[in-house]
Structure 1
Amino acid sequence: MGKNVREIALEALLSVYKNQSYSNLLVNNTIQKNDLSSSDSGLLTEIIYGTIQRDQLLDFYLEPFIKNQKKLEEWVYILIKLSLYQLHFLDRVPAHAVLNEAVEIAKKRGHKGIASLVNGVLRNIQRNGLRSIDGIKDPIEKLSIETNHPEWLIETWVEEFGVVETRKMCEENILPPYQTARVNLMKASREEVIKMLEDEGIEVEEGNLSPFAIEIQKGNVAYTNAFKEGYLSIQDESSMLVAQALGVSEGEHILDTCAAPGGKSTHIAELLNGTGSVTALDLHKHKVKLIQEQATRLGLENIETKALDARKAPEEFEGRLFDRVLVDAPCSGLGVIRRKPDILLRKNASDVSNLQRVQKSILDEASKLVKPGGTLVYSTCTVGHDENIDVVNSFLNEHNDYELDQSLIEHLPSKLKESKTVQKGFIQLLPHYFGTDGFFIARLRKKV
């Protein structure tokens, strides 16, 4: 008999907690490897994401019931944790099913003693109920445990965005993620692609922000013919704004300095409508291959790829300048916590300052490759000032041949024009504004 969903979820969670596997990649691989039905895939995804997203809260709830967690083998503790997640947060799963399966898995992986310990803890929780989080008096500590964000991060965000925005952002980050996709308008209109997907049994709506976006209500577009035949790419709406912010015109030559896995490069190539060129760089050869695969699937012939450190680009392209250059910089990823909740299991404050140095040096080097009067766009999928506006301001202080480009707003969807999120030349999207990833985009102009 094959493994059941909870057993598969336990193995996946062990891989996240012990081996620092990435939850989003792991979920997809696990579903494919075990050939799960759509209802089993849904439950598996819910258990894995939910357990990680409530990591600190589950620890807080379990503490009174487990006298010495350090003595427990890690898999036993995670089994209790994922069972508690289901008992407390999943209404549709009957309690007896959760308990029975937890005990069976404990017997199978361990022995009778472990099974009775797991059974004892879970029944004890059922009898006595869980302690209230309201007992925590410190508001930062309380929000940290409640929403699974480290205290240092909450303190930073409170300083930068205020208490109200920080709470909203933290709460948004523990909602289940949903899939969005970008329509390849070179091949079909948004309405035509929606119809194709509906014919394949996928429930779809138009996106919230971007004119290219569709939001998937039910099903997985990655397995559809429409996807295989290059009618769409899986991409968050905030990320779709980056190619628009560049404001490309047909026939132009564009450099994308940190391009893998290729979502923005392919979008730029689509906007060029088969003209001009996109030169897509990435540090790692295997990642460059991903960009090429996407370009082939989408039928794009105006993308050339190269494995290259963006900081070495000026010597590689000596004497060549581009109409527009994109620096979608490596960052802490704190805008995509909803899609990658395991980010918070391994990030600390010093990671951010190390990244800032890399971001600045890539921006410095990339700026040398922009034509006079050309455009340089800097973007990240994170939300804190130090990786975003601080990097841009520091760059502008050292490069008086560049300025923030006030025309950014003209290149963005109308919904953003009405909101207060676009500043003069840059935009900071927080996840709760439009239900997108957290994202930063600055548009800079090289003076003539």
Structure 2
Amino acid sequence: MKKQRKKNVREVAMDLLEAIEKNQSYSNLLLNHAINQNRLEQKDIGLLTELVYGTLQRKMTLDYYLQPYIKKPNKVESWVKQLLRITVYQMVHLNKIPDHAALNEAVEIAKNKGHKGIASFVNGILRNIQRNGMRQVDEIKDPIQRISIATSHPEWLVARWVEQFGLETTEEMCKLNLQAPTQTARVNRTKATTEEVMTLLEEEGYAVKRSEWISEAIHALRGNLAKSTAFKSGLITIQDESSMLACCALNPQKDEKILDACAAPGGKTTHLAEAMSGSGEVIAIDLHEHKVKLISQTADRLGLKNIVTLALDSRQVQDHFPQESFDRILLDAPCSGLGVMRRKPDMKYTKKADDLVRLQAIQLDLLNAVTPLLKKGGMLVYSTCTVDESENHQVISRFLSDHKEFVGDSTLKERLPQALQTFVNDYEIQVLPQYIGSDGFYIACLRKKV
């Protein structure tokens, strides 16, 4: 029986990429599992993360580089393609790793996992690339196809965005999606000030800086804040700045009763509860029991007593609450997530245009279900972490045409950071990732007529 050998970091990365592609699994979950299973050293964890996310982010570009050297791509095994992608990624993007080292490592993995013939095939392709170089993306004449290949975004998506935002804005957004996001945290100001938390984190060895746009937000320049004492003590919550805007827009007041209709994992719920200084009541609903438990656990960690959780399909809220019983409602609707592709690069290759149409129907159903629960004069914020008009502007336009009792609230602008005010269009804003380096996010602010 062949003795089980310890896999090196590149082989672990290759296996991970194959599993992600074959099973359409979430890269973050598989990565964490692989780190624990393979007992990797700290220095290797960084390289593994870089190889997996970097190769995923640039998959289409890497295939474009490889394509002239592979005569019969359909006959190449999946794991061999992943090995070639990882190696080319290292050759192009990782300056600290010499080409010959990456190449020799790939040949060794091919020999161990396959046979001499595969090792020879891998060696031949990589030597050719080393000798002749990569072909240039600039050779592609069609601008949509060029952006697609250069930034590894599917052509249908690039074409769709060009129609909505124009060529220049789309290219800028696609390029930004290739950059690793900065970790951002929200300070729990019921317990401490932003300055106090930053001092504690710095004393613990973290490098942080204050957000330019949101007073309770901080950026991690070094270290994972989720492992900090400040996090364990309930002083911070990991949350992107664009997601924090939902609370700014809703503008909760003390002692109000607020509904968070699609609340898991609870970042916005707890932000609302903190903004009310622990007063009033935030009722947080989500469809899945295990996700509702996450919200409760987060509320406990933060020491927030004004949150009530409930596992419930938000389309059935009218069976559980009287009409006009909430002062404000937040509906952070299920969406395609096209605004968070920097964090989930595998998403780029699995989404289809049909998904957006299907989601639009769900989003409208949810709006129609929750709005009777809002008091007259009350405020509704609809938000998504996507950048596509079909799930955002089109949904709200349709809703307003069907619900004459609602109007757009043009005071939204006053409640958002100054850097974003220029992008507000009356009662709605589409935040693109390049605006403040955050996730892509949409907010519409509506008011129920008195």
TM-score scaled by length of structure 1: 0.96
Secondary structure at 2:110 match in 1: helix
Deviation at 1:247, TM superposition (A): 0.5
Aligned CA distance change for structure 1 residues 244 and 33 (closer, same or farther; 3 Å): farther
Selected match of 2:177 from 158, 173, 176: 173
| Residue type of the alignment partner of 1:425 | Y
> Is 2:187 the partner of 1:183?
yes
Selected match of 1:243 from 223, 233, 247: 247
Selected match of 1:67 from 71, 74, 86: 71
| Residue type of the alignment partner of 1:285 | E
> Is 2:343 the partner of 1:323?
no
Q: How far, CA to CA, are the matches of 1:224 and 1:38 in structure 2?
A: 17
Secondary structure at 1:216 match in 2: strand
CA contact (8 A) 1:103 1:116 kept: yes
> Is 2:216 the partner of 1:212?
yes
Secondary structure at 2:429 match in 1: strand
Post-superposition Cα deviations, 1:78-99, rounded to whole Å, max 9, x if no partner, equal 0111111111111122222212
Post-superposition Cα deviations, 1:34-88, rounded to whole Å, max 9, x if no partner, equal 4544432222221111111111111111111111121122111101111111111
| Residue type of the alignment partner of 1:27 | L
Between 1:21-30 and 1:176-185, the stretch displaced more is 21-30
> Is 2:18 the partner of 1:14?
yes
Between 1:215-224 and 1:355-364, the stretch displaced more is 215-224
Q: How far, CA to CA, are the matches of 1:241 and 1:31 in structure 2?
A: 34
| Residue type of the alignment partner of 2:183 | Q
Secondary structure at 2:435 match in 1: helix
What is the match of residue 107 of structure 1? 111
| Residue type of the alignment partner of 2:329 | V
Q: How does 1:195-234 map to 2 (within 5 A)?
A: 195-234=199-238
> Is 2:417 the partner of 1:421?
no
What is the match of residue 58 of structure 2? 54
| Residue type of the alignment partner of 1:50 | G
Secondary structure at 1:372 match in 2: strand
Deviation at 1:176, TM superposition (A): 1.7
Secondary structure at 2:424 match in 1: coil
Selected match of 1:443 from 435, 442, 445: 445
Selected match of 1:407 from 401, 411, 415: 411
Post-superposition Cα deviations, 1:217-244, rounded to whole Å, max 9, x if no partner, equal 1111111111111111111100011011
CA contact (8 A) 2:173 2:433 kept: yes
Secondary structure at 1:185 match in 2: coil
Q: How does 1:33-432 map to 2 (within 5 A)?
A: 33-319=37-323, 321-417=325-421, 420-432=422-434
CA contact (8 A) 2:263 2:332 kept: yes
| Residue type of the alignment partner of 1:252 | E
> Is 2:22 the partner of 1:30?
no
| Residue type of the alignment partner of 1:93 | I
| Residue type of the alignment partner of 1:444 | L
Secondary structure at 2:411 match in 1: helix
Deviation at 1:250, TM superposition (A): 1.0
Secondary structure at 2:339 match in 1: coil
Post-superposition Cα deviations, 1:125-152, rounded to whole Å, max 9, x if no partner, equal 1111111222211111111111111122
CA contact (8 A) 1:352 1:387 kept: yes
Deviation at 1:416, TM superposition (A): 2.4
Between 1:189-198 and 1:377-386, the stretch displaced more is 189-198
Deviation at 1:320, TM superposition (A): 6.0
Deviation at 1:208, TM superposition (A): 3.2
Aligned CA distance change for structure 1 residues 98 and 55 (closer, same or farther; 3 Å): same
Deviation at 1:403, TM superposition (A): 0.5
Q: How far, CA to CA, are the matches of 2:307 and 2:41 in structure 1?
A: 37
Q: How far, CA to CA, are the matches of 2:206 and 2:80 in structure 1?
A: 38
CA contact (8 A) 1:206 1:213 kept: yes
Secondary structure at 2:19 match in 1: helix
Aligned CA distance change for structure 1 residues 235 and 57 (closer, same or farther; 3 Å): same
Secondary structure at 1:335 match in 2: helix
Between 1:322-331 and 1:211-220, the stretch displaced more is 211-220
Q: How far, CA to CA, are the matches of 1:187 and 1:173 in structure 2?
A: 34
Q: How far, CA to CA, are the matches of 1:285 and 1:291 in structure 2?
A: 10
Secondary structure at 1:356 match in 2: helix
Q: How far, CA to CA, are the matches of 1:100 and 1:360 in structure 2?
A: 55
After superposition, the CA RMSD in angstroms is: 1.5
Secondary structure at 1:400 match in 2: coil
Deviation at 1:421, TM superposition (A): 0.7
Aligned CA distance change for structure 1 residues 139 and 107 (closer, same or farther; 3 Å): same
CA contact (8 A) 1:86 1:93 kept: yes
TM-score scaled by length of structure 2: 0.96
Q: How far, CA to CA, are the matches of 1:32 and 1:398 in structure 2?
A: 52
The percent of aligned pairs where both chains have the same amino acid is 54
Q: How far, CA to CA, are the matches of 2:201 and 2:68 in structure 1?
A: 49
Q: Is there any run of 5+ residues in structure 1 with no aligned partner, and where?
A: none
CA contact (8 A) 2:420 2:435 kept: no
Q: How far, CA to CA, are the matches of 1:88 and 1:19 in structure 2?
A: 27
Secondary structure at 1:296 match in 2: helix
Deviation at 1:24, TM superposition (A): 3.1
Deviation at 1:8, TM superposition (A): 1.9
Q: How far, CA to CA, are the matches of 2:284 and 2:194 in structure 1?
A: 26
Post-superposition Cα deviations, 1:394-446, rounded to whole Å, max 9, x if no partner, equal 100011110011111222223323xx211211111111111110100011101
Secondary structure at 2:185 match in 1: strand
Between 1:373-382 and 1:112-121, the stretch displaced more is 112-121
Aligned CA distance change for structure 1 residues 322 and 266 (closer, same or farther; 3 Å): same
Deviation at 1:353, TM superposition (A): 0.7
